[in-house]
A and B are shown apart, each in its own frame.
Chain A
């Protein structure tokens, strides 16, 4: 009983620590988002590829669903479901990065980083893409660890933490997407 309480307290502390980290990270994104409005107002170049923005947003939302499924499978001890869903999430994360690369390729032609909107666009998408990349690394780490450790009820904090971070990256994009692609 005492051991369970100690374990629960540790889990609560892990969660609190991660939420504090996420909270502090969100301020960085807020600062960059406010820069867009401070420097450019609500003006946006006509060449911004809105359909591609929508497509990569949907890819990221789908990756959040598969990450949730992976975490749920881990919580219920379904190792196969966990591995399959986390791998699918990582595939979607890579697809999202490919979409951002295409956006960058187009962006260099129409609104280079030296231009006002380009500065904001490349900084925000670059900063976010870096977070997606680190999210992929963390997901890869829990996937590798899953080969040695059997995740199950009361023993899946690693998966929970990695997936929470992945969802945070998604939440950040929920605000970045309209700010860069839709506001006018």
Chain B
């Protein structure tokens, strides 16, 4: 699973989780406060939110580079 230490991997997980929670809250604020025409913002936020999961939790780069 890569060369980093266990502690560094865990810290990375917490960092990614923090980013995801922040995006989720921004998304909620946009969805509840921007009453009309909010879909472009939400679409961008959803893509931004999905990327950290794909990159850091699902290790999508392994497909190209092997072990991260």
Interface residues of A (CB under 8 A from B): 8, 12, 15-16, 19, 42, 50, 54, 57-58, 61-62, 64-65, 67-69, 71-73, 75-76, 78, 153, 156, 160, 163-164, 167-168, 170-171, 174-175, 177-178, 181-184
Contact = CB atoms under 8 A, between A and B. Distances in A.
Residue of A15, A62, A75, A184 with most partner-chain B CB within 10 A:
A184
29 contacts: A12-B66, A42-B39, A50-B31, A57-B24, A58-B24, A61-B21, A62-B17, A64-B53, A65-B13, A68-B13, A68-B57, A69-B10, A76-B1, A76-B6, A78-B6, A167-B53, A167-B54, A170-B57, A171-B50, A171-B54, A171-B58, A174-B50, A175-B46, A175-B50, A178-B43, A182-B30, A183-B39, A184-B35, A184-B38
Contacts of A153: 1
Contacts of A54: 24, 28
Chain B at the A interface: SS class: helix
Interface of B: 1, 6, 9-10, 13-14, 16-17, 20-21, 24, 27-28, 30-32, 35-36, 38-39, 42-43, 45-46, 49-50, 53-54, 56-58, 60, 62-63, 66
Nearest to B23: A174
A167 to B, nearest CB: 5
A91 B46 CA distance: 25
Nearest to A78: B6
Chain A at the B interface: SS class: helix
A178 B10 contact: no
B53 to A, nearest CB: 5
A72 B46 contact: no
Contact of A15 (B36, B43, B62): B62
A16 B63 CA distance: 7
Contacts of B32: 50, 182
A142 B39 CA distance: 39
Contacts of A181: 31
Contacts of B13: 65, 68-69, 72
What are the 6 A-B residue pairs with the smallest beta carbon separation, nearest first?
A182-B31, A75-B1, A178-B42, A65-B17, A167-B57, A68-B13
